[in-house]
Amino acid sequence: MAHGHSHGGGCSCGAERADAPERGLEYGLFRKIDLDKLECLNEKSEGSGKSVFRAWEEREDRTRFVESDDDEELLFNIPFTGNVKLKGIILIGEDSDAHPAEMRLFKNIPHMSFDDVGREADQVFSLNIDVTGELEYPTKIARFSNVSHLSIHISKNFGAENTKIQYIGLRGEWTEAHRHEVTICNYESAASPADHKVSQITPQTHFIS
């Protein structure tokens, strides 16, 4: 069943047309996902949730998709290899009732489960049917400026028993996570013999770790 790009009173979901020529470069954040640790809950085929995060040029590959199992919900837990400023999301589904109708975003809550989705989301989108990737859902950048982990909850579709997604694209900026401060701090908390004038150091000396 075909659906128009409105919910009766015009599109109030904040979607924008994503037809800029540099779209492929902008939607390169999939390379910064730690795919080995990405989780998709309620996927019918194990590992299929990872397949929807891929290059922009492969967005219309209909052979790769994720379908929900027990009901219409899907939950993606997406860890990044650094810190991300998330600016926009594109979601491609089928031209049917199996297309997601609502997308809820949560930041920096690793290993979310369906028990956690009752909390207030950082942003919620009402989705339109999009089979080519022409619509972008812009995020509140101030709220998503320092994201190390993103959870995407697909809470409902347009009425089908199961939800089907072909592609999810993430647009934004990536910066390397700085973890060396912790190492330096731990190192400096251990006393260095060179910093102290001592006449003898016994082998039994224990440094604070």
Give the predicted TM-score (pTM) of the model: 0.77
What is the residue-averaged pLDDT of the chain? 84
Q: Give the Cβ contact number of residue 121 at 10 Å.
A: 18
Q: Is the pLDDT of residue 173 over 70?
A: yes
CATH number at residue 182: 2.60.120.470
User: Is residue 209 included in any domain, yes or no?
Assistant: no
69-118: pLDDT as tens digits: 999 999 999 999 999 999 999 999 999 999 999 999 999 999 999 999 99
Q: Is the pLDDT of residue 139 over 60?
A: yes
The answer to whether position 202 is within a domain reads no
* DSSP letter for each residue of 116-151: TTTSPPSEEEE----SSS-EEEE--TTTTSSEEEEE
Instruction: Categorize the per-residue pLDDT at 2 as very low, low, confident or very high, splitting at 50, 70 and 90.
Output: very low
Residue 70 token pair: 């027990």
Whether 127 has a pLDDT exceeding 50, the answer reads: yes
- Provide the domain count of the chain: 1
